[in-house]
Structure 1
Amino acid sequence: MEKQPVLILASSSPRRQELIRMLGLPVRIVVSHADETVEPGTAPDAMVEQLALRKAEAVGRQLRTSGAVSVPSDNAANFGTSTNIQDGEPGIIIGADTIVVLDGTVYGKPIDAEDAFRMLKRLQGAVHQVFTGIACIDQRTGRSTVQSIKTDVTLQALTDEQIRRYVATGEPMDKAGSYAVQGLGSTFVVRVDGDYYSVVGLSLHALSGMLQQFGIAVP
């Protein structure tokens, strides 16, 4: 009987790791360290698709060149008993990327607290778009599929004091657009039109459909 492919998540994001566990499938974590620069003027959907695929491809190269990749010890307990992914083990590598866009301007992760303040000052009281790209690669055959999801998010109007108090919590510092829809940031998210989990960082609906293309059924 052919061994069930393991899902190999090319991400260090705790949010994506938590979401992919919800699928109830075997998962390993390998951080890609991929270059995240893109050509200026790249459309948002193309940008997240490129970056998601690049992250997955980077992990694929790690697996081919090292023969075994260690899973970070702090994740091993949550994602299975094995701490290594062996070269040739059947697996689907999953990369993901998320950006926030308002009026054609792309907002990624802030570089510091002031940058986070500037982002939130711009996004507050407005409707913006969150784009998340997902890429899946069969590490044995190289077959791949890529998809992007767009969701509209409305934030309430905020005072400078409210924004600075939120930034002071530290929550915005590793989030695209400088807010967490699943955290304290939810207190000023008025509306989400579309895929909530895509805003968090990984659309489970889109991913489950993509995995079906590789013969993997989500329980």
Structure 2
Amino acid sequence: MSAPELILASGSAARREMLQGAGVLFRVEVAPVDEAALKAELGVIDAAALAVELAKAKAVAVSRLQPDAWVLGGDQTLAFDGGLVSKARSLEEAKARLSAMRGRSHALHSGAALARGGEVVWSGVETATMQVRPFSDAFLGAYLQAEGKALLSCVGAYRLEGLGAQLFERIDGDYFTVLGLPLWAVLKQLRHVGALPA
């Protein structure tokens, strides 16, 4: 008897590439979750807990539609200067965000949840602390021009797997966590439930 299929309930290219790179077989079904409404419903909640709750909501939403599959949900939040940061809506906003982060640190929280039969069976979160270097205005301008609107899909307005690596002088945490998934914990859990060979 074959193992149940695995579904990634996220449209994130980085999460998809991480799982593919690790040799995980899965398909993508983007979760029909209104993140803004869920954030409003949850109220004031710390950034790490919010990443987990969003991941759970995505996993459960798809799991209710595909109850026989294992469904993996993922989400990432960014805490900076005492608040929660959302994706920039324009390149001007991205420029202002990166300028504010220059020479300072922020935290990225990557949450994940695994569901089956419409119920969460596991969830977890990992955090990476990102120390931004005091880059020049010239570098920032060149960076924004090179990356363009792709930055609007990233919560921090950067992609570490590209030119964005040059924005930082130190990172405390896991590379995969920075990309948006606590991969080691996810792989361990997929092995635990039999979705991956032990």
Instruction: State the TM-score, normalized to the length of structure 2.
Output: 0.88
Q: Secondary structure at the match of 2:66?
A: helix
Partner of 2:47: 44
Give the structure 2 partner of residue 67 of structure 1.
Answer: none
Instruction: Kindly indicate whether the alpha-carbon contact (under 8 Å) linking 2:110 and 2:181 is maintained by their aligned counterparts in 1.
Output: yes
Amino acid at match of 1:203: P
Check whether the contact 1:126–1:156 (CA below 8 A) recurs between aligned residues: yes
Size of the aligned set, in residue pairs, is 192
Distance 1:186 1:5 in 2: 37
Aligned to 2:130: 153
> Runs (4+) of structure 1 moved beyond 6 Å?
none
* Aligned partner of residue 96 in structure 1, secondary structure: strand
* Aligned ranges 1:32-181 → 2 under 5 Å: 32-37=31-36, 38=39, 39-63=42-66, 88=68, 91-139=69-117, 142-168=119-145, 169-170=147-148, 171-181=150-160
**How big is the shift at 1:103?**
2.6
Aligned Cα root-mean-square deviation (Å): 1.8
Q: For 2:123 and 2:176, how far apart are their aligned partners in 1?
A: 17
1:7 and 1:161 map into 2 onto residues whose CA distance is 45
**For residue 208 of structure 1, what is the aligned residue in structure 2?**
187
Letter in 2 for 1:101: A
Between Structure 1 and Structure 2, the one with more helix by share is: 2
Aligned to 1:73: none
TM-score (norm 1): 0.80
* Ranges in structure 2 where 5+ consecutive residues have no aligned partner: none
- Report the Cα distance in structure 1 between the residues aligned to 2:75 and 2:82, rounded to whole angstroms: 18
Cα deviation, 1:37-94, whole Å, max 9, x if unaligned, reads 2134211111001100111112123336xxxxxxxxxxxxxxxxxxxxxxx4xx2100
Q: Quote the Cα distance in structure 1 between the aligned partners of 2:10 and 2:71.
A: 10
- How many angstroms apart in 2 are the aligned matches of 1:144 and 1:118? 40
Report if the CA contact (8 A) 1:6-1:25 is conserved. Answer: no
